[in-house]
Amino acid sequence: MIDLRSDTVTKPSEQMRAVMAAAPVGDDVYGEDPTINSLEERVSALFGKEAGLFAPSGSLANQLSIRMLVNPGEELLTETNSHIVRAELGAGAVFSGITTRTWLAPRGLLNAQDPLAIAKPDSGPYLVSTTAIAVENTHNFGGGTVQSIEEIKKLHSETQKLGIALHLDGARIWNAHVASGVDFKEYGKYFETISVCLSKGLGAPVGSLMLSNKDRVTKARQWRKRYGAGMRQAGILAAAGHFALDNNINRLSEDHKLAKSIASAVFAVAPNVVDPKTVDTNIVGLDLTGLSIKASDLAAQLKENGILASALGPTYLRLVTHMDVTAEDIEKVNQILPELLQRSFVA
Ligand SMILES: *Cc1c(COP(=O)(O)O)cnc(C)c1O
């Protein structure tokens, strides 16, 4: 099977497993795991942040950040199709007692004016006060889109005046960096809190970090334990993260190239389904609106041909490239997928 459902499906390589097996470990709840400590220092320094906190999932790294920025009864603004509001099962409401309001953006692309138009800080006794805004980069359900650093800067300078904090959901910030050339420290400048995932395109089996200043990270460490995610000799997991950072960032450009080639192959037969120019990173979103085939049917037909893709809506099919698929695999996809689409035109 050529598994393009997500970049989370990557499996740890032999070398990664060897590094994990050899990692020095200690009890991380006591702060004594050297491999976790060095990973937290490494990633926070990479983004120019004071401190970092290792977490078992990106959702938890997001939720710990939200916990630090937004008090119960206050609101977080985010894009309508962001992971925080669509794929974390209401965690912000359940764990932090916060409310959310959303703005809708084509392909999830940030236009600073959109959140600023609905932001209501210090709303007094009647209305909910906005205390934070989350930005997702790259934007997953937007099709792996890279946010403009100019829009991020604009949003930062305006929210500073309003006393509103910014959170970066950087699960795939590695892809954004490789595609845009923007330095990690540059991204780090504009956000009070950041979450990053090692378990997506970087290929680690587990692991995310929450990054911020010392005070927030110290408090988030308590909340992590309270949520039941205080891990012990988890340095074997952090070692996979070190390995991923050492070896797997620059190679993401390969994934991006292969994703674009899928989009080009589809565009050649069905130009309304995807525009290769909009495929910035490793995610290809196919919009099947106006075609007779449903996303779930196309996914089923692909599966019969040995290809797995995600039907994320009735007319939306997602394919994600990653380190466990080869150029030959994608050549096969680029033959079969256009054929199936063409067949649906005559059916
Ligand atoms: C994957 C992902 C996360 C975190 O997901 P987990 O499965 O909880 O690790 C957060 N944000 C975005 C945009 C993601 O794609």
- What confidence tens digit (pLDDT) does each residue in 122-175 have? 999 999 999 999 999 999 999 999 999 999 999 999 999 999 999 999 999 999
Residue with tokens 């100019």: 150
* Per-residue model confidence (pLDDT) at position 290: 87
Q: How close is the Cα of 64 to the center of ligand 1, in Å?
A: 13
Ligand 1 pocket residue status of 310, Cβ below 6 Å:
no
Rounded Cα distance, 201 and 7, in Å: 5
Protein residue with its CA nearest to atom 5 in ligand 1: 58
At 317-333, the pLDDT tens digits run 999 999 999 999 999 99
Q: How close is the Cα of 205 to the center of ligand 1, in Å?
A: 13
The mean-pLDDT minimum among 38-42, 82-86, 154-158, 290-294 falls in 290-294
| Record: fold of 252-346 | Aspartate Aminotransferase, domain 1 (3.90.1150)
Is it the case that residue 347 has pLDDT exceeding 70? no
Is it the case that residue 345 has pLDDT exceeding 90? no
For residue 168, the SS3 value is: strand
Ligand 1 pocket residue status of 140, Cβ below 6 Å:
yes
Type of residue at 138: T
Protein residue with its CA nearest to atom 4 in ligand 1: 58
* Per-residue model confidence (pLDDT) at position 54: 98
Show me where the domains of the chain are located: 11-247, 252-346
292: buried, middle or exposed (CB in 10 Å: 19+, 13-18, 0-12)?
exposed
* Per-residue model confidence (pLDDT) at position 189: 98
Architecture of 11-247 per CATH? Answer: 3-Layer(aba) Sandwich (3.40)
The predicted model gives 255-260 an average pLDDT of 98
pLDDT confidence band for 289 (50 / 70 / 90) = very high
The predicted model gives 250-258 an average pLDDT of 98
Q: How close is the Cα of 134 to the center of ligand 1, in Å?
A: 14
At 181-200, the pLDDT tens digits run 999 999 999 999 999 999 99
Q: How close is the Cα of 127 to the center of ligand 1, in Å?
A: 31
Rounded Cα distance, 83 and 168, in Å: 12
Crossing angle for the helix pair 173-180 and 252-269, to the nearest 10 degrees: 80
Residue 262: partners with Cβ closer than 8 Å, 6 or more residues away: 279, 284, 319, 321, 330, 333, 334, 337
Atom of ligand 1 nearest to the CA of 208: 9
The DSSP bridge pattern shows strands 208-212 and 193-197 to be antiparallel
Atom of ligand 1 nearest to the CA of 169: 11
More confident residue, 343 or 172: 172
* Per-residue model confidence (pLDDT) at position 301: 98
Structure tokens belonging to residue 236:
């074997």
Rounded Cα distance, 300 and 164, in Å: 45
Residue 311: partners with Cβ closer than 8 Å, 6 or more residues away: 294, 295, 296, 298, 299, 317, 318
The DSSP bridge pattern shows strands 165-170 and 193-197 to be parallel
* Per-residue model confidence (pLDDT) at position 346: 74
Q: How close is the Cα of 182 to the center of ligand 1, in Å?
A: 21
Q: Are 318 and 285 in contact (CB under 8 A)?
A: yes
Q: Are 262 and 321 in contact (CB under 8 A)?
A: yes
As a dihedral over the C-alpha atoms of residue 146, residue 89, residue 239, residue 241, rounded to 10 degrees, the angle is: 0
At 203-242, the pLDDT tens digits run 999 999 999 999 999 999 999 999 999 999 999 999 999 9
Count the helices and strands in the chain (H runs, E runs): 14, 12
* pLDDT over 90 percentage in the chain: 98
Q: How close is the Cα of 81 to the center of ligand 1, in Å?
A: 13
What is the chain's mean pLDDT, rounded?
A: 97
Q: Are 54 and 107 in contact (CB under 8 A)?
A: no
Protein residue with its CA nearest to atom 3 in ligand 1: 58
* Per-residue model confidence (pLDDT) at position 222: 98
The predicted model gives 114-128 an average pLDDT of 96
Q: How close is the Cα of 183 to the center of ligand 1, in Å?
A: 21
Rounded Cα distance, 293 and 347, in Å: 9
* Per-residue model confidence (pLDDT) at position 251: 98
Q: Are 6 and 140 in contact (CB under 8 A)?
A: no
Atom of ligand 1 nearest to the CA of 82: 13
DSSP H or E run through 319: strand 316-320
H helices of 194-308, in order, are 214-226, 235-247, 252-269, 295-304
The predicted model gives 79-102 an average pLDDT of 97
H helices of 70-167, in order, are 83-86, 91-96, 113-118, 149-162
